[in-house]
Amino acid sequence: MLQSSDDNVPCRITRLDNGVRVVTEPMPAAKTASLGIWIEAGSRHEGPGQEGMAHLWEHMAFKGTATRDALAIAKELDILGGLANAFTSREATCFHIRVMDAHLRRAFDVLADIALHPALDPEELAREQAVIVQEISMVEETPEEKVHEDFWAAAWAEPAIAHPITGTPRSVTAATPKSLQAWRRERYRADAVTVVATGAVDHETLLALAGETFGKLPATPRPDSRPAGAFTPPRLAVRRESEQNHVILAYPSVGNTSPERFAHTILATLLGGNMSSRLFQEVREKRGLAYSIYASVSGLADAGIFEIQAAVDPERTGELLAVVRGELDAVAGGAVTDEELDHTREHLKGLLYLGAESSENRMMRLARNILLFDRHIPLEETAAALDKVTRDDLAGIARASFAPEKTGLCILGPTAAIP
């Protein structure tokens, strides 16, 4: 048993004989429980012609099982009064729900059913394929999302990393029950499943439930995984009729398992993570160049990108880029003050501890740490890692990452052109 030092609450991890992990972290004062069923099967696990299968399976889970049709699933979730949803990322698929403690057993039954036994009715599949094609079209018509998808695709040489999570209209419509089942058999393995619950939970109860359902999954060999490969800085111009140019500046960062991830997170937050950040103050407050500007780290387990995104009047695009580069150069030159670093650190620690009071946020954090590190990471350990980051660390990252030859740039808009 692992001990959580955050609040003297035990976090327990048990691995079933077939490899399924069952993880719980009780929150003594909680009256609700958050449950997540995580499968390490995302878009990076799709080969050529399989693009979008993980996301399509997530959609099909709610369209019916061997014992419940789509309406029955919807009604049962509504009766529970819970907040149920699912999502697909590049590295995992998650089905999750938050309910009153008295409803956890029933919620587990529904969630496990849709995760394990989705029906693949051809008519429902055709409908959902059409829905996802519409979802893809919505991204195409939303400049803020379109520029990110185009940039991400151009930034990676490895096709499994580069393609959209949703797939393409061609790959989605080409999927058949046979091809979907073949992908699922390979990827929905026992050792790829982690059942996580936080809040008003009892480990032995959840372990028994998981054993009755997920314990029946056969143990199969883990397929080989391909590394993400290096970030290749793209320089991409996409012409589109719109009122603004949508701009992404990007640089190499680190993966979510790197010890340096804390320094990269602090640097992104200090530059563009909140209203007092350097870029927000310089770009919006002082110059009125953009309504908003963001900096963040988009990370996979083994690789990451440091991104800065803004929308700007086409005629002032060059000015925006000059201002951003000026701030990056200043940080590389050691301009960050002790006060700035302390302010950013306290902001991130505040978000960390505030999030821990929600059973859902706590479940998400716990699950990601289990998937990445196979262990619970106490809040204090993360806070201590943030405290260790120094001004020299930030300047060193900036000097190493923000070099001209490592700069990726994507501009989507009416006058899109790479300066």
Positions marked active-site? 58
Instruction: Decide: helix, strand or coil at residue 39.
Output: strand
Instruction: Please state at what angle helix 177-187 crosses helix 122-140, rounded to 10 degrees.
Output: 80
CA distance 370 to 320: 40
Kindly report the backbone phi and psi dihedral angles of residue 228, in degrees, each rounded to the nearest multiple of 5, phi listed first: -65, -30
In 3-state terms, what secondary structure has residue 253?
strand
DSSP codes, 277-293: SHHIIIIIIIT---S-E
Q: How far apart are CA 121 and CA 73, in angstroms?
A: 15
CA distance 262 to 279: 20
- Dihedral over alpha carbons 352, 356, 359, 365 (to 10 degrees): 40
**How far is it, in rounded angstroms, from Cα 43 to Cα 58?**
12
Query: What 3-state class would DSSP assign to 189?
Result: coil
**What is the rounded distance in angstroms from the CA atom of residue 53 to the CA atom of residue 182?**
11
Ranges of H-type helices in 64-103: 70-80
Phi and psi based region of residue 401 (left: phi greater than 0; alpha: psi -120 to 50; beta: remaining): alpha
Q: Rounded to whole angstroms, how far apart are CA atoms 405 and 407?
A: 6
Q: Which two tokens stand for residue 226?
A: 């391909």
What is the crossing angle of helices 338-355 and 359-373, to 10°? 110
